């Protein structure tokens, strides 16, 4: 199997490549120059030796993976500066963005200066927003370092910052020049963060690709051991699947992107009601997928066996399939929170539900009584069995 996998995101003049590699940070600058040379907007800059970069990273990564990027750029004759932001959602704010603008002004950045975002979703969102808005657009490269960022936030062009009244309220759709994913970043990722990212990978199998879901079932050991070859395969395929959706609904106007929210209606309610830190996003999504799949069973959309396969795979990957012990959420609170979800229209509950493994649809006006039935049935009851057979 190749040690480098390439995914193309086909968006006409905004098309770009995602490079999925292992232990190849020394080739980052070379890959960057290849991408820019292929772009009519930036080809001349590379040919003329205009090679200036502005790196945005967080404090946790500044002496970890970011140093590899800096060394690679230096070896290829690039001039660069690095701006360090604090980890966490507070950095997705206009005051932080303003400070990054100040740094760009001070270094006399122009439209050929490449902004490189090294980090998780927060860094990618904030750095991407700066790139989209400074001098009306800088070339932008994502170097995601978490599994969740690898397979989700780095693909699709969503960039933005938070407002005091709402998350991600200020933003844009701005595609990068390329995305450089090196699986070596996952070797230092905390266990819980890594497994949280796996939930999104499983989600892609349920919503878009039954064969991929089976591949995950067959490679649980490799996933748990963070085997580089398995990681390259699952990251590349996840990116391909998300890219297929983005290519058809880049600016979220047709509603197709909604299928990416499988499990999220339940998950967002659980996250909010459990309180910050009790559940990571991927953990909530894993639980939410089981609730959504059980709801699909009650609507005779899928079989119980399809739900059991999800329970078994998520459990085998160390993800929760039920709410934590000691957490008791009332059905009234959960449903009230669901009605605040952006996918709800006119107070009517909408869910992304599987019709078989590998396909989902958006169902509108689901009866509240049926949702309550699922909530009552699954409270602390979803478990994987040792004798489960695919």
**Is 145 annotated as a binding-site member?**
yes
187 is in an annotated binding site: yes
**E strand or H helix that includes residue 66:** helix 66-75
Which class for 15: exposed (0-12), middle (13-18), buried (19 or more C-beta within 10 A)?
middle
Q: Active-site residues: which are they?
A: 136, 158, 200, 242, 252, 257, 261, 264, 268, 281
The verdict on whether residue 113 carries a ligand-binding annotation is: no
For 166, the 3-state DSSP assignment is strand
- CB count within 10 Å of CB 336 equals 12
- For residue 188, say whether it is annotated as part of any ligand binding site: yes
**Is 125 within any annotated ligand binding site?**
yes
122 is in an annotated binding site: yes
Distances (CA, A) of 347 to 13, 264, 274, 282, 351: 40, 17, 23, 26, 13
288 is in an annotated binding site: no
- 123 annotated as a binding-site residue: yes
Question: Is 200 annotated as a binding-site member?
Answer: yes
Residue 326 assigned ligand-binding role: no
* Cα–Cα distance measured from residue 145 to residue 197, given in angstroms and rounded to the nearest whole number: 11
Q: Which residues contact 330 (CB under 8 A, 6 or more apart)?
A: none
**146 appears as a binding residue in the annotation:** yes
Beta carbons of 201 and 238 less than 8 angstroms apart? yes
Which residues contribute to the annotated binding site? 121-125, 145-146, 158, 167, 185-188, 200, 264, 281
Residues comprising the binding site for Zn(2+)? Answer: 200, 264, 281
Q: Which residues make up each annotated binding site for NAD(+)? A: 121-125, 145-146, 158, 167, 185-188
């Amino acid at each position: 199997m190749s040690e480098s996998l390439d995914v193309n995101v086909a968006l006409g003049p905004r098309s770009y490549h995602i490079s999925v590699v292992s232990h190849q940070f020394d080739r980052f600058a070379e890959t960057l120059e290849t991408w820019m040379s292929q772009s009519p907007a930036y080809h001349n800059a590379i040919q003329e030796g205009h090679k200036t970069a502005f790196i945005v990273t967080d404090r946790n990564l500044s002496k970890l993976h970011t140093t590899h990027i800096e060394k690679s750029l230096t070896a290829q004759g690039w001039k660069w500066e690095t701006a360090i932001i604090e980890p966490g959602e507070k950095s997705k704010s206009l005051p932080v963005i303003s400070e990054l603008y100040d740094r760009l002004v001070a270094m006399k950045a122009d439209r050929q200066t490449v902004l490189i975002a090294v980090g998780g979703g927060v860094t990618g969102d904030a750095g991407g927003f700066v790139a989209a808005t400074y001098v009306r657009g800088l070339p932008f490269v994502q170097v995601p370092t978490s599994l969740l960022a690898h397979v989700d936030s780095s693909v699709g062009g969503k960039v933005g910052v938070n407002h005091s009244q709402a998350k991600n309220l200020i933003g844009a759709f701005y595609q990068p020049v390329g995305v450089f994913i090196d699986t070596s970043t996952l070797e230092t990722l905390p266990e819980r963060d890594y497994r949280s990212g796996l939930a999104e990978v499983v989600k892609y199998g349920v919503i878009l690709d039954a064969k991929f879901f089976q591949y995950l079932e067959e490679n649980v050991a490799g996933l748990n051991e963070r085997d580089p070859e398995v990681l390259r395969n699952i990251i590349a395929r996840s990116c391909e699947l998300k890219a297929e959706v983005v290519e058809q609904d880049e600016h979220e106007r047709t509603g197709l992107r909604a299928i990416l929210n499988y499990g999220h209606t339940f998950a967002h309610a659980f996250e909010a009601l459990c309180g910050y830190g009790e559940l990571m996003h991927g953990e909530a999504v894993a639980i939410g997928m089981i609730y959504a799949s059980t709801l699909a069973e009650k609507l005779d959309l899928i079989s119980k066996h399809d739900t059991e396969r999800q329970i078994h795979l998520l459990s085998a990957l160390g993800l929760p399939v039920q709410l934590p012990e000691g957490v008791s959420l009332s059905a009234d609170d959960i449903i009230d929170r669901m009605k605040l979800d952006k996918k709800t229209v006119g107070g009517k509950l909408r869910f992304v539900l599987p019709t078989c493994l590998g396909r989902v649809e958006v169902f509108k006006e689901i009866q509240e009584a049926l949702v309550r039935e699922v909530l009552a049935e699954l409270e602390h009851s979803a478990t994987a069995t040792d004798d489960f057979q695919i």
